[in-house]
Amino acid sequence: MKFDHNNISPLDNRYKLKVIDQSDIFSEYNLIKTRFVIEINWILFLCDKYPVYFSKISNQSKKKILSFRESFDDKSVVKIKKIEQSTNHDVKAIEYFIRDFFKKDRILKNYIYLIHFGLTSEDVNSLSYAIIINDGLKQYLKDIKNLNSLLNKLSVKWKKISLLSRTHGQAASPTTLGKEIKVFSLRIKNEISKLNLITPLAKFSGAIGNYHALNIATDRINWESATKKFIKTFKIKQNPITTQIEPHDWIAELLQTITRINNICLDLSIDSWMYISNDIFKLKLNPDEVGSSTMPHKVNPIDFENAEGNFGLSNALNNYFASKLTKSRLQRDLSDSTVLRNIGISFGYTKVGINSLFNGLNKISPNKQFIEYELDNNWEVLTEAVQTVMRYEGIDDAYEQLKKLSRGKKLDKKSYINFVKSLNISIKAKNKLIKLSPKTYIGLSEKL
């Protein structure tokens, strides 16, 4: 693959191989091609579905049009971009490109009048972006489900590993690594279910959404139904009541949901970084990697740091898109056009973030020796258990007794057992507490 190191975005050079599938979907090439296909299919749709009102097209001519559609390539884009230099209008340039082809055929030239018939450019754009974003969403769902599959595997793999938890940065009731990973996978799963409910929408109703041009041509066709059927051929649903533009509410909802997933992944990236910093996780060594240009000993959590940065970039873009795209002056202004062209950048940064987080998770392993050492040096976390058992046996000031014993202090196994033995509680309760340790005080976390 050729790299252009003069590109302004790292998505087009440094991260090019990591985002190639999303790049193909959101590229200028694909946008132009999608518009082109819509224009061609609209001609065929009118002729096939409504031959009484429009010129019936022969199989031979239809084959020529389909062959023209399938032959679209880089050269086609170059020709269209050249026309655009004169028109200063991207959709009109595609119309003229098709017209130039039809002109060369004695039969097809009779169908030139049907190119872009009854449409405004926003009809073509609305459907194009719905198709493209929907394709981008499908790829995104593959990536995020792949990440979540890894989290589920790690959750099961690590479900028996007890861990000293931390609340407010302080030692707290123990948990298990598996359960803590499960928290993130379940959060992501819940958001994925919301993504699956979002319906991509497009409009195909003319200059200000009232089907003016189509209806004035002939009012014998139910244009609302006809355009709905046409849009459905691209597996997109119609928004029947709009201004000149589809209002993009579904895009905002989509990006806001992705932002929430990004934030879950950010939370996981930061927690993973902190677990590494606190020796809970060990990083697997790659002998070819360099951790620092000056400190040879370093093995840095760079994947989690990279993920954090790229999820943050995606969120910043998503927040702007969701705010901007849902606002348009009266029936239409053009400010959304340049913004929509950049939506693939958000998907690109999200993909880099997911890729980095996935790689980071595959490079870590629990530092069991340190985890057990830390648990064994924090017996004070069992005071929650002791005071709860005391309460259960009717001791009113249980919390206060344990607070006096442990607040701001360290307890070891011996002092813990001696305190339990001194309590005025049943033998059964004492035995239960004496058998307890920070490693085994994990509640239902293994089951969870």
List residues with catalytic annotation: 168, 292
Question: Is residue 204 a contact partner of residue 418, using CB atoms and an 8 Å limit?
Answer: no
Q: Are 207 and 120 in contact (CB under 8 A)?
A: yes
Q: How far apart are CA 205 and CA 290, in angstroms?
A: 58
CB 144 within 8 A of CB 26: no
- Kind of pairing, strands 281-283 and 364-366? antiparallel
Residue 447, SS3 per DSSP: coil
Residues 177 and 268: their CA atoms lie apart, in Å, by: 13
Query: Which residues are within 8 A (CB) of 129 and not within 5 positions of it... i.e. 6 or more apart?
Result: 202, 251, 340, 343
Contacts of 233 (CB under 8 A, 6+ apart): 41, 45
Residue 166, classed as helix, strand or coil, is strand
Between CA 264 and CA 259 the distance in angstroms is: 9
Q: Are 341 and 292 in contact (CB under 8 A)?
A: no
Packing angle between helix 28-49 and helix 74-87, nearest 10 degrees? Answer: 90
Closest by CA to 79, choosing from 103, 98, 106, 58, is: 98
Q: Structure tokens of 224? A: 């609302």
CB-based contacts of 221: which residues, under 8 Å, 6+ apart?
A: 50, 53, 214
Distance separating alpha carbons of residues 311 and 353, to the nearest angstrom: 5
Copy the structure tokens of residue 271: 């927690």
Task: Name the phi and psi angles at 175, rounded to 5.
Answer: -140, -165
